[in-house]
Amino acid sequence: MRVLNKTIGLSKLLTKDRLQATPPRGKSKNLTLTSSDVTENIKAYSEIPGPKPIPILGNTWRLLPILGQYDVTDVAKLSNLFYQEYGKIVKLSGLVGRPDLLFIYDADEIEKIYRQEGPTPFRPSMPCLVKYKSEVRKDFFGKEGGVVGVHGEPWKTFRTKVQKPILQLQTVKKYVEPIEAVTNDFIRRMLELKNDNNEMPADYDNEIHKWALECIGRVALDVRLGCLDSNLSADSEALKIIEAAKYALRNIAILELRFPFWRYFPTTIWTKYVKNMDYFIEVCMRHIDEAMKKMEKKSIKNEKDLSLVERILVNEPDPKVAYILALDLILVGIDTISMAVCSILYQLATRQDQQEKLYQELKRVLPSKEEPLTAEKLNEMVFLKAFVKEVFRMYSTVIGNGRTLQEDMILLGYRVPKGVQVVFPTLVTGCMSEYVSEADKFMPERWLKSRSTDNKIHPFSSLPYGYGARMCLGRRFADLEMQVLLAKLIRSYKLEYLHPPLEYKVTFMYAPDGELKFKMTERPE
């Protein structure tokens, strides 16, 4: 299986002048370029290693089909190749229509960049979504751009409106029971799908997408969308939403890394992208409006009893805030959570010893299969959470995070100008022995509080949800949904994968590429 399953060695040593320009951990972390920094030890931005651009075509040609040397659908492999060939800092410049990309493979430096950022970090994200929100549908979004593809004060203003209700633990706890109900329906659906060998169908990943959308719909739209019905028609709303989300996310690399013709005239991909986004808005508006009508008839006695949608509508009477939040949660959440679950289940199914440990924990916390989940019981499932963290470390669904520099900075001994997009390749740094003890071994135990003191994990080597003010807004709901599914499924069923190993590949997320024909065997009570 081609995965990042062995320690990545350092291909280059930092030179003395780089070490002098990079403060050691625990020392001063001010990376802002000042007059005192201007010494002969600091190298020019032009000296940063990386693939050399050619006239006119720059480095964009490297990402073209057939002609190019890199495949935009395998960014994970590209990130690893860059590190092995060039070292801890790599510049990919000359990308037509976009800023340079600067890859940083140093967890200490990543930490300092994060800690240096101000109250409105600029996270490079989806220029195509930015264009859609700010130009194509400016009539709809106006000043309410949401949290995805929006920056500066507009981002801060919107996030302030929705942050409290969506991150409050009491709000998340309220959804344990609804998410469990969705998951019970999903497991019943799995039982219907099993063949004579107790295996899931070849397109099982589509079923996981349906479960993810049903969970997100329950949270973001306050409604059951019916995604888990046995007889969904091809033109059903649920399947249309899933296909629209897949298309919007999985064509991002093509829209943004190849020649950006879509910025100048409506290409086929761009036209379909806009059509899909318009459909998202239509769905969100309809369901939020229905939620408003229900709320008007409801007697609100205690805010604690309100759903997420109701909390937002109470605090922000303009329904557009709820429309746009739902749009962002659905757009980003469906594929992200689905692919994460595909990866987690595949790792469980191919690691029977680890699955048995999880089962024994679940059996202790839930003595009966039928025992309902609570937030308190989920908190006891420490090995479950550790297993998920270890999957994210070695097979990070999100292959990297990043920032667009808002001021000139000194990074690893080089003077880097503002406007450059800095990329933090989590998939690589999370597997570097410099930052993680026995990085080549899959050990969920490393995340437990009882782990030995010599078990090193650099906190900034693996950040699946990002860090700081722009951490994933829906992370607590994502964690809840995954934990509930794993708890309910593995408590009652043994999962196996009895086919040749799968390779991992990037669509929008990093996940196993192939048919997830899991064998599902009921466990004795």
Domain locations along the chain: 127-522
SS3 sequence of 286-340: HHHHHHHHHHHCCCCCCHHHCCHHHHHHHHCCCHHHHHHHHHHHHHHHHHHHHHH
CA distance 216 to 155: 22
127-522 has which fold?
Cytochrome p450 (1.10.630)
- pTM assigned to the model: 0.87
**CA dist 93 → 55, 88, 124, 236, 420 (Å):** 12, 16, 15, 44, 10
Quote the Cα angle for 476-120-411, to 5°: 100
pLDDT at 370: 93
- Confirm if 224 and 242 have CB atoms less than 8 A apart: no
Closest CA to 340 of 388, 401, 400, 402: 388
CA distance 433 to 440: 8
pLDDT tens over the chain, length 525 residues: 333 333 333 233 223 333 333 333 333 344 444 434 445 589 999 999 999 988 878 888 787 776 777 776 667 788 899 999 999 999 999 887 778 899 999 999 999 999 998 889 988 767 888 889 999 999 999 888 899 888 888 899 999 999 988 998 989 999 999 999 999 999 999 999 999 999 999 999 999 999 999 999 999 999 999 999 988 888 899 999 888 888 887 787 778 767 778 888 899 999 999 999 999 899 999 999 998 888 887 776 666 778 899 889 888 878 999 999 999 999 888 989 999 999 999 999 999 999 999 999 999 999 999 999 999 999 999 999 999 999 999 999 988 899 999 999 999 999 999 999 999 999 999 999 999 999 999 999 999 987 666 789 999 999 999 999 999 999 999 999 999 999 999 999 999 999 999 999 887 788 999 999 999 999 987
CA distance 261 to 255: 8
pLDDT at 152: 86
